[in-house]
Amino acid sequence: IDFSKCNGEYKPKISNKNPGDNLHLRPLSLGDFDRGFLKLLSELTKVGDVSQKQFADRFHQMKACPGGYFITVLENTETQEVVATATLAVETKFIHSTGARGRIEDVVVSKQYRGKQLGKLLLDCLTLLAPKVGCYKLSLECKDPLVDFYSTFGFSKEVNQNYMVQRF
């Protein structure tokens, strides 16, 4: 992806290739189980007691769906900890000429890494990626205080579309 057009908006300047001191941006890997990936997700919501095998099984299941999941992480290579993550999930469709719908999911930046533009970096990467992997639209759900943040990436509340949910 051509990240260059986003670079000007970062102060201080960071990019996907240079996200900051000791930070490396890459796809999720199996080893991230030991790098605190699930602990990071628990800053967002309930993760549950997930064993290494359950993690590996789910990882391989997602991997077996090519183009379905772009789970991006930022690792602090010095401490070998995953400090931020965001996912682009792609759902393929018959509609829109066998198009696809993208969803931004599970965006978390670890508490001590907030305020370093890392959420913006992940969001910019995934927002640029979405149309390139065939998405005709991209959506997300967020709490009220984050509406302004996500608006800066081109998201807006859709007229006459309601987010409805059923929990099990």
Q: Which is nearer to ligand 16G, 98 or 161 (CB)?
A: 161
Q: Does 6 engage in binding with ligand 16G (CB under 6 A)? A: no
Scanning residues 111 to 140, which ones bind ligand 16G (CB under 6 A)? 140
Cα angle for residues 26, 72, 78 (degrees, 5° grid): 50
* Selected binder of ligand 16G within 6, 23, 40, 104 (CB under 6 A): 104
Q: Does 41 engage in binding with ligand 16G (CB under 6 A)? A: no
Piece of the chain touching ligand 16G by CB under 6 A; list 27-35, 67-75, 99-107, 156-164: 99-107
Q: Does 107 engage in binding with ligand 16G (CB under 6 A)? A: yes
Q: Does 105 engage in binding with ligand 16G (CB under 6 A)? A: yes
* Selected binder of ligand 16G within 141, 147, 151, 152 (CB under 6 A): 141
Piece of the chain touching ligand 16G by CB under 6 A; list 5-13, 17-25, 104-112, 153-161: 104-112
Question: Which residues 6+ apart lie within 8 Å of 166 measured at CB?
Answer: none
